[in-house]
Every structure is written in structure tokens, then in C-alpha cells.
Structure 1
């Protein structure tokens, strides 16, 4: 049977399905309901109490009318059944909603019901058109409602018609099972064919919930199996250099020259690295730590292990400012030891660059710190044994793969100061082992965070002046560089002029993304040297910049920033011995989400807790940013809501990978047929194809 064989499927309807990505019977079977009408939860309107309860009502539209004027204009749709009437009210989008309805349409409303005057009302109810109110009685207890769109509506592809097609497909087709029986039994999953029946023709709520779990598991399992296969092939394919000697650099540095005590988190991460580099296999490890948790010293420990065993190390940072900062930090730490550290960035003079490249190729350079310049074709290492990549999410998997070509399978250590919730780490960084550094190094004081209205600016500036006179420095961050007519936000250039007058006894600098790279570096260097006391900036100072003397962070229009962004900004202070203060300044109008973000920032300094909250607010795509590659697109699963299924899927994937990595056993043959093409597609992303 083919898609064209379905009843009532005209050429125009076939085209409408294709425009929605439905080109086969399986595609149509996978067009899952987005909601179900449960006859037991559909109330006659007269029985709706109107006390804020969530209900479903079904009836015919009696009246469509618009009331009020200007900003108070609203759309009212009166829905009537055999018992009474209910009013659906839209205060926004009424012009669009009005076009969707006609009088006498059969409609289901979903929402919170409240009594206003003589009507029970629903504000902005969700709604679905149905073919007839009697359908609720005629169909089975659970009625699937399928996603629709303009093309479907134009071609009259209704929920009822899609349901009829699903019945025909399931009568003639039996989608093949590919999950091994032991996996299904272990995780209590229905068979595939039965799952399609349960999702399209459920006999109870538990049935369609079970079916959705099956399909979510299926998606996550295939993804986790591809990751497990990738990781297995990396481990099997790549032998890693053995770092067994620790005498010349590592032990002397940590025993004699380190000026502070390591935290338990740092010790644990170093132990993980030591185990990796002595395993004989290539290390691929992510060090996750909150801002200021001391990841650099852990990276330095790994670098010294490489040097002790005759290897070179490369340290990559996403920007020149950060590369120079890491260069200074490593050089200062290693000053007592005989180690040659070189800095390789894009804007160096030809003579200096030639000298550095000669040092790297000849083996005189022990550690090269730089930007993406480190992975350019002209850079040839003498004996690269370790690559450290800072702020991994700012690079990407391809650039991580490129550094591997610079040596004979060098160990790879990637670091991220952007806390990533466990669910995202399990997908985005599943090909890496993960170490998490918790806690702050000794002597660091937690940053005190306050939320203030913009009317308190005089008090805020008086406090800042007091801090400056006591030797501190301050950041003032604005969301825009120049004034925007569309958004009532203060811009950095105007703020700079105002603050220059207010703090006339001090040096005030301006830093923003539209400045040339060398201009930004010069301003930042002045701030680091305390030649500038107040730095007015946009979010270019968000990640990685380390100025221990800076003790105040003021964020203007803080309600417009994301949670993780606010946390990164706050992480620029509290890096020295001074008590530091973050002041989040908000405007008159703050959304519900904006208030939540500000409150969360004041409540906690735990970056992982903040990241979890941010992920729930924004979803995975927005959380990572549109340019972030590598996050898989799931049709049914949600890696935030379905973390427990994700963990089950990962466990099942590794169980099979450990049992039979090439899927040669008879019980894995059906899985192999599905997995091989899936894996070939995914392996392009991991650089395995």
C-alpha cells in the first residue's frame, strides 16, 4: 500500500501533506496527535463552576463580536451547547482569531474557566475545530486531535479525516519492530505496531502515555547508541600517549610552587585526568565548572603531565583577550619552572609569528596559547600530546576535530564556564567524559546580589563611588551600544557620557562589540592595569575576562538579559579578596519571566541551578543559541522534560554497545537495519564519516 492509495486523498491534499513533510505512510503514522479529548473530562457548560478550574467544553459558535476601543479592544466568541453558553475572550491577536471562526462552527475550548457577570469565561482558550459536536459521543472515549495548519484547513484535511487514514494504514501495514525484546521488557515498552495503535486509537489515557514513552525512548535510544558507537570507535581507534612520569614539572609545581590549596573539586578533576592519560587510550574529557571555580589550574595540571613525558601542549581560547589572559596566567604560574610558553594570535608581526612557528615545529616551545590560529595549516607541532580548549561551546565540534590532526591522537581536555544542565550535557557532550568542579577556591567570597529599581540610581552611584575611593573597580553593563527607537533601553554610549560626568574624579572607559579588536584589547588592558576604574560595556565582557580588583557589577535593564547571561556577567567579579557586589537594575515594566529571573539571581549563585531554571524558561534551542551546532532535533522527545527517559535510553545504548558494538548478534539485526543509516548521518557531525 502507498500514500496515494488512501481514500479521499486528492492530488491537492497529497500536495498539502507533502508541504508538511508527509511523503509516506510512515510519515503520516508519525503525525501524532498533539492533544486528546477525553469524553470524561468534557463538561456540559452548565456544570462548569467558573472557579479557575481547567476544563474542556464543546459546542457551536453562537456569536463572534469585538468590543472596546484602542488598547481595551477585545474579541469575544460565544460558545453554546445544549445546556448553556460560555465566552472565549482574546485581548491580543483578536484580528487573527476572528478569521478562524464562523458562526455555527463546532469547536472545543480548553482553558481556565472563571465567572464574570452572567457568563463563564475563558481568557485566550486553546481551541480545536471538530467536525460535529456529536463526534464526542460517537467516537471512542479518547478522541485524538491532530496538529493542523493553513494548508490543511484550505484542503479540509480535518482531524477526523487524518484519524480515518490512520485506521486504514494500521489495517494494511505493520511497522517493523527494531528494539530488541530485552530492551523493551527491561523498560516496559509496548511493541512498535501496538504503540501506533495506542497513540492513534487509545482506549485509555495510560495507553497513549505508554505509546508516547515508547516513541520518546526510541528517538533518544538511537541518538545515545550513535554517541556510544562514536565514543567506542574513538576509544578503539585511538591509542593515547602514556603520561606516567610526573617528576620534573607536575610534582614540584603542586608540592612547592602552587600558592594555594586545591579544592576537593579540583583534586577530583585532576584525578580523572590522571586516570585518563595513563589508560593508553586517548582522553576526551570536559571540565565543567562554574565561573571562578578554578578550571585553569586543573588544565595546567594536565599540561604539566604532558611536559613531564616529553610532549607539547596547546591551549586554545575563543578570543584574543582570553588567549592573552591565559598566556599571562600560565606564564606567571610557571615562572619558577624552566618552561617556554608562547602566544599565537592573529594580529602578530610576521617576524614574531615566524619565530613562534619555528619554536613550535622545532620543539623549543613547550606550551602554545592562542586562538583558532593554533589550528591553521601553517602550524606544525613537534610532538603535540595534549590540546586544551577553553569555552568549548564558542568553538564547535569541527574545530575540536581539527586540533586532533596536529598530533598523533593528542589527549583532549575541553573546558566550559557556562554551566550546562545534565540533560543537555548528556546529548551535546555525550562523546566526552565529564568532570564537574564544584565550590570556589579558598579566599573567594560569594558575590552579594541586589535587585534595584532604576529610580535608585543616585543611591547606587554613591555606593559605587565609596567602593572606588577604597580602591575597587566597577563594570556598568548595558544591553545596547546605541539608542534604539524600538526599545526603550539605555545605551552604552549615552551611559558612558553620563557616568564620565558623575565619576569625574576617576577614569571611565567604554567597551563595545563595534570597536576594532585592538581598541577593545587596549581598553581592557587599561582596566586590568587599573588605569580605568569604571568600565562601561556591553556584554563583550561576559565570558572569561579576569580582573581580580573589580568588585562591582551593575547591569542596566537586567530584566532584558537571560539568566545564564546574567550569571556570566556576575562571574566577572568576586575573583579577588574584596567583597564584591552585583546590582541588577530594572525599569518600570518587568514581565513575569523577567521578575522570575531577577529573583532567581538574588536567591542563588549556583550556576547549575541557574542553568536548569534558564533551560526550562527558554528551551534547549534558545538556551544554546541559534548558532550552536550539535543539538539533535527530536520529533517527540523533549530532553528537558524527558530526562528520566534519556537516562534509560543511554543506559540501554551502552548495554548493547558493551555486548556487541558491531550489532552482529541475531537479536540485533532489525536494530542494525535502522541504526546504520541513522549513524552514518550522525557521524558526519562527529567527524567520523
Structure 2
């Protein structure tokens, strides 16, 4: 089935083929992301209006929507142009007015003839004790009353698209919804009490009561599951097709690893030991590894990564570790050098700075296998970089490297195993959505000896106290970061803010004590300022967020974050992770500008009360939503129409295990359920996945 199944054709036709939709409306519907009937099917009503007929408006609390039968009395045309045109009506118990603006009298007399009965439905409001219904939503004759649903769905709208159009169009598309074979496992469907697909859609679009609009309603849950299942099936197919590509079984001897472990001044944590075992098992398997190593700030990812690299070396191969920036690559090098010395392996750095003879010499040693472990930036991607026998590539800070680059690096060796590391704790639902094709190892313990960081909130009216505190700390030989706020989106303004702060601190603390780093500086100048701080020549480093990731200065024990309310939670947590790396007690001062909004207060308190990055990430997701958290545009995160990735983590995990199980039992999707799942993939426009099956 390499082309769309015929049963789905009606859902992928033009919108104009639906009753009541002309070219103009079809164009306007693009504002709702609706381009074909299929999109309309998954654009569900978000609320509803009770249109059940009442005896009188007295039975409801105004203002509210009410439907009553009335007898029409006299018409009172507008006294002045554009004024209100009133029609007096009476229900079973009381009289009220229907009010119209800019209405044509002859039209109203025809629709509301005096002396006759009509059903009117609309919002009733009280003005000076008199009931008024301005522009009723519906005016119907007795013989049309049956056309009004007792509960009317309310759809999301966009310019040029009315409720009437949406109700009519969704009705037309529901009639088109074909009967599809079931892709959900029968036992699961029975256990959850889910309806079949077509019924679920009908319930969702034509709810009989407000309860049926709830995301927890079985019809809605089923449709959300379908969406997540299609997405997870795509990821599972990608994972399966990657696993089909033969890897090289890289089996370590543990000899080098044991040397390093014996030389460590502390014991590896349980989480580190577990992650190393998971990675070693993946490396030893004949399939290609594709694993994500997730660890909070300071959870000891470097050791785990190095052990993985040693497995490659023990097996006679090479390993490479890549970082998104030169500063980080150098830090990895510094972090790994003592470990490499303990193991006795050749470690080298390759960045864009290597030129001419030096570079040529490094490349020659790499190609001959003399360099066993290479640390680098994306300069490693260049065509002239050839390895002797590359077995493992480790990518640090995944979100800076796209999937395309992951593949490019994979091509460097015959069948390189890939380990991706991230210091950004990702909430489970997002990890499932974004990295569902990868296996995940989590480092959720801190190595012994890491000091907790004391976090305090301080209003910016007390900056002088902060500077005094800093003066004392510097006199004791301690170091501090001072992070300047993110001003709008302009780096130039950021630069000014940082330069101003630098001048103030330099005046307060003395010449030569304060350094400055910001995004507008030439890289060499930035590196020099960082190097001075790392070497302890400067005591305070004023910076914009360039220091967010990876900088390691154990002697730095104070982190001041100015205008902390302008940063995201994850970012604040990353910044705080720059201190508390040495033996000294550390503090993080969140300086805010009052008054704080409710969300900002909650955000800063979450940070003050917790050091658990995963907990903070979950809270961040709840506060900001998924698109914001990782920037949907570049994240490759799917846009779900029904499923709510923030609140349906459990459903996402269920879809993942179901998708993997289905593929395990039926890799080519040829069984009845497999064939149905193929139709689901077409329905959910997962064409990439279809290609993967046909390739397989």
C-alpha cells in the first residue's frame, strides 16, 4: 500500500466538494489549519450551548442563552438611524424584547409576523428589569423546531468562518467518514470502553451534553489515542528501520574502564552504573545504537560518556564526542583529559580553529587510528575528516544538532552507534513525543560531594546589599557569575545592559576583578574573558546567557541572575547549575523587578524550592505549554489536533508501547490490525512512516 487507500479519498478531496463551502470560505478556513475535509474531521468543538426549549425566560438566570416559544407582539422601528429596532414578545409567563441594530424593518416583519408564534433562541440579558434578547441566534417556525439541536456544539472560528458554516461543514464531513477497520487492540478497546472510530467522531462533533466535550470522555480519549498512536507508530518504524541497518558489535573488555573507575576519588552512582550497562549492551548488539542520555545539571554525564567511548577503544575502534560550541568542546576536553590519562588513551581536540599543518597532522593521526578519542565541534562533519575505525559518536546538547546532522555523522563510520546527551531535563511526555524513536537512559542521582545550592529571591531594590555581599565573597577568594537580563530579543540591547552592569561592578569592586562576556563579542575575546575567569584571574564574570551550558568553574559559588522573571524555568535551572560544582557552599540569588505576575511568582518559587530538574521541567511544561517549551517550529514536535501532550502523558506512553508491540508482532504490518494501522498512518498524514514500511 504505497499510495493512499481509496477508502480515504473523500477525506482528502478539495474543501469545496463539501456542501456549503465555496472557494472564499475554503480559503478562510486555512486560518484554522483546515485545508481538506480530513482536517475538519479533527477540528472538534471546544464548548457547547444548551438549546433545550424552556417554558419561560423566568426559568433561567440572566445573562445566559435560552430557547423559548413566544407570541409576537408589536414592532417598534428605530427612532433614529442605527438605533435599536424592538419587537415585543411574550412567552408563557412574561414579556420581553427582541432587539436588532441596523436591521431592515420589512425583513423583520416577514420573519417575526405580529400575532404568530415563533421559537427564539439567544442570549437573554436584563436592562432595568426588562428582558432583552439582542439579535437572536435562531428564529424558527413550529414546524422547523426539530432542526434545532438540544445541545449545539461551538467550534473554533477564524475570520470569515461562522458557527453556522462550521456546523454545516462538519455535518457534511461526518457523512463522508468511511467505516474503517479497527487498528486498536480489541482488549485495550474493551478495557477502556472506547467507541469505534466513526462513532467517536460523531459523539465528539455532535455532543448531547456538556460532559461529552470533556477531554476525558471516551470518544475524545479514543481520538487522542489514535493521533498519538499514529505518531508513535512513525517513531517506532523509524526505530525499527534504523535497527535493521546492521551495526558493528562493539564489545568492550572492561580493562580500560576498570583503570578509570579505580582511579576515581568517588564511587559511580547507581544511575551512572545502570546507564553505562545499558549503553555497553547496545554497543555489543549487532544493531545500531540510538540512545538518549538524559541527565540533570551535575548528574555526571561526562563519566558515562567517557566509559562508552572506552568501550569503543577497548574493541579496537575510535570514538568521537561533539559539542555545539568551541567553549564547550574545550570543556569536554578538560573534563576528559584526567580520565584519559588514567586510562592511557590518546585524546585530541578538533575545532574550526585548527588550520594548516596542525590540522593536517591531526587528520593523519585520526585516519591512522593513533587518535583514539576525538572531541570536537561540528568541524568534525567536514568531508576531509576521516576516521580509521569510528564506532561511537556522542552528541552533546541534542537540540542544537538537527536530525540531519545526526545522520551525516552516522555516515562517517560504516555503522556508527549514536549516543545523544542532553543536560536539559525533558518532561516525560515531551521526551516520548520528540525522542520516541530513541532508547532513553536517565541519570537521576547526583554524584556524592555535590553541594546543594541555596536559592533566594531578592527584589532589585536591594541590589546594593547584593553588591556588598559580593565584595565580601571576593575578599575571601570566591568567584561569582552575574547574569544580565534578556532584554527584548535584541542582542545589542542585551550588550548595553551587560556593559552597564560591568561598569557599575567594576567601580564598586575595583579594576581587574570583573570580566565581561556577551553575544556581540568576537569569539577570541569571549574565550579570553572566559579563560581568565576559569583561571581565577577575574573574580566576577558579568555575562548574558552565553554561559548557560556547560561552563565548569568549581571555585565559583555565587550566581546572581538579574531580572530573573524574564527567564524560563529551564534556563534558570541551567544557570544555577553553573555553581555548586566545588566543595564550597553555593548560593543563587534571583533578583526580580516587582511587581511580579502570578505566573512569575510561581515560577521563581518552584525554582527556590526544588533542585530536581525533572520536577522543574514538568512544572515548566504545565506553566508554558509544549510549543513554548521547546519552540515548536524548530523542534519537529508534531501538532496534535485532539491530543493534549501536556495532560495526556499516560496515553502517550500507552501509545508508544502499543506501537512497539504491534511492530514487534507484525513488522511489515500485514495482519488485519497491521493493515488497519496502515490506513491510520495515511489518515494521520504520516507519509514518512509509510515510506519506511515500503522500504522495509
TM-score band by shorter chain is 0.7 to 0.9
Question: After superposition, what is the alpha-carbon deviation per residue over 1:112-162, rounded to whole angstroms, capped at 9, x for unaligned?
Answer: x9x9x999xxxxxxxx9972388999733331011212122xxxxx32343
> Match for residue 228 of structure 2?
220
With 15-24 and 323-332 compared, the bigger mean Cα shift is at 15-24
Query: How far apart, in 2, do the equivalents of 1:440 and 1:534 lie?
Result: 27
> Match for residue 423 of structure 2?
417
Q: Shift of the alpha carbon at 1:204? A: 3.7
Q: Shift of the alpha carbon at 1:400? A: 1.3
Query: How far apart, in 2, do the equivalents of 1:504 and 1:408 lie?
Result: 57
Which ranges of structure 1 fall in alignment gaps of 5 or more residues? Answer: 61-79, 86-97, 120-127, 153-157
Local SS of the residue matching 1:325: helix
Local SS of the residue matching 1:393: helix
- Return closer, same or farther for 1:461/1:46 CA change in 2, 3 Å cut-off: farther
Question: After superposition, what is the alpha-carbon deviation per residue over 1:428-484, rounded to whole angstroms, capped at 9, x for unaligned?
Answer: 111111111112211111000000011111211121122111121011111247998
> Match for residue 142 of structure 1?
151
Question: After superposition, what is the alpha-carbon deviation per residue over 1:505-549, rounded to whole angstroms, capped at 9, x for unaligned?
Answer: 651011001111111111111110001101000000001111111
The equivalences for 1:636-651 within 5 A come to: 636-651=642-657
Question: After superposition, what is the alpha-carbon deviation per residue over 1:352-410, rounded to whole angstroms, capped at 9, x for unaligned?
Answer: 11111111111100110000111221110000111111111121211111111111212
Do the aligned partners of 1:198 and 1:211 also contact (CA within 8 Å) in 2?
yes
With 358-367 and 264-273 compared, the bigger mean Cα shift is at 264-273
Do the aligned partners of 2:234 and 2:688 also contact (CA within 8 Å) in 1?
no
Question: After superposition, what is the alpha-carbon deviation per residue over 1:168-212, rounded to whole angstroms, capped at 9, x for unaligned?
Answer: 444465353452462533543211211221112223445453222
Query: How far apart, in 1, do the equivalents of 2:503 and 2:156 lie?
Result: 53
Q: Within the alignment, does 1:195 sit opposite 2:210 as a pair? A: no
Q: Shift of the alpha carbon at 1:11? A: 4.5
Query: How far apart, in 2, do the equivalents of 1:466 and 1:49 lie?
Result: 66
Query: How far apart, in 1, do the equivalents of 2:633 and 2:662 lie?
Result: 33
Find the partner of 2:258 among 251, 257, 260: 251
With 235-244 and 484-493 compared, the bigger mean Cα shift is at 484-493
Query: How far apart, in 2, do the equivalents of 1:614 and 1:534 lie?
Result: 30
> Match for residue 189 of structure 2?
184
> Match for residue 151 of structure 1?
160
- Return closer, same or farther for 1:674/1:601 CA change in 2, 3 Å cut-off: closer
Q: Within the alignment, does 1:31 sit opposite 2:43 as a pair? A: yes
- Given the two structures, how large is their TM-score scaled by the length of structure 1? 0.83
- Return closer, same or farther for 1:203/1:353 CA change in 2, 3 Å cut-off: same
Q: Within the alignment, does 1:406 sit opposite 2:412 as a pair? A: yes
> Match for residue 25 of structure 2?
13
Question: After superposition, what is the alpha-carbon deviation per residue over 1:58-114, rounded to whole angstroms, capped at 9, x for unaligned?
Answer: 699xxxxxxxxxxxxxxxxxxx999999xxxxxxxxxxxx99xxxx998669xxx9x
With 329-338 and 393-402 compared, the bigger mean Cα shift is at 329-338
Q: Shift of the alpha carbon at 1:628? A: 3.2
> Match for residue 78 of structure 2?
none
Q: Shift of the alpha carbon at 1:46? A: 7.6
Do the aligned partners of 1:387 and 1:413 also contact (CA within 8 Å) in 2?
yes
Q: Shift of the alpha carbon at 1:652? A: 1.7
- Return closer, same or farther for 1:404/1:618 CA change in 2, 3 Å cut-off: same
Do the aligned partners of 1:475 and 1:554 also contact (CA within 8 Å) in 2?
yes
Query: How far apart, in 1, do the equivalents of 2:380 and 2:366 lie?
Result: 10
Q: Within the alignment, does 1:239 sit opposite 2:224 as a pair? A: no
Q: Shift of the alpha carbon at 1:164? A: 3.3
Query: How far apart, in 2, do the equivalents of 1:17 and 1:555 lie?
Result: 45
Do the aligned partners of 1:269 and 1:436 also contact (CA within 8 Å) in 2?
yes
Local SS of the residue matching 2:419: strand
Query: How far apart, in 1, do the equivalents of 2:502 and 2:321 lie?
Result: 35
Find the partner of 1:229 among 231, 237, 240: 237
> Match for residue 688 of structure 2?
681
- Return closer, same or farther for 1:10/1:241 CA change in 2, 3 Å cut-off: closer
Do the aligned partners of 1:241 and 1:410 also contact (CA within 8 Å) in 2?
no
Query: How far apart, in 1, do the equivalents of 2:593 and 2:95 lie?
Result: 45
Query: How far apart, in 2, do the equivalents of 1:405 and 1:236 lie?
Result: 15
Query: How far apart, in 2, do the equivalents of 1:378 and 1:81 lie?
Result: 88
> Match for residue 530 of structure 2?
524
> Match for residue 387 of structure 2?
381
Find the partner of 1:463 among 466, 469, 486: 469
Report the RMSD for the aligned CA atoms in angstroms.
3.7
The equivalences for 1:602-681 within 5 A come to: 602-625=608-631, 628-675=634-681, 678-681=685-688
> Match for residue 270 of structure 1?
276
Local SS of the residue matching 1:611: helix
Query: How far apart, in 1, do the equivalents of 2:24 and 2:633 lie?
Result: 37
Local SS of the residue matching 1:451: strand
Find the partner of 1:294 among 296, 300, 308: 300
Find the partner of 1:557 among 551, 563, 570: 563
With 404-413 and 208-217 compared, the bigger mean Cα shift is at 208-217
> Match for residue 572 of structure 1?
578
Do the aligned partners of 2:495 and 2:518 also contact (CA within 8 Å) in 1?
no
Query: How far apart, in 1, do the equivalents of 2:275 and 2:491 lie?
Result: 49
> Match for residue 111 of structure 2?
none
Q: Within the alignment, does 1:335 sit opposite 2:347 as a pair? A: no
> Match for residue 312 of structure 2?
306
Q: Shift of the alpha carbon at 1:668? A: 2.5
> Match for residue 552 of structure 2?
546
Local SS of the residue matching 1:144: strand
- Return closer, same or farther for 1:370/1:481 CA change in 2, 3 Å cut-off: farther
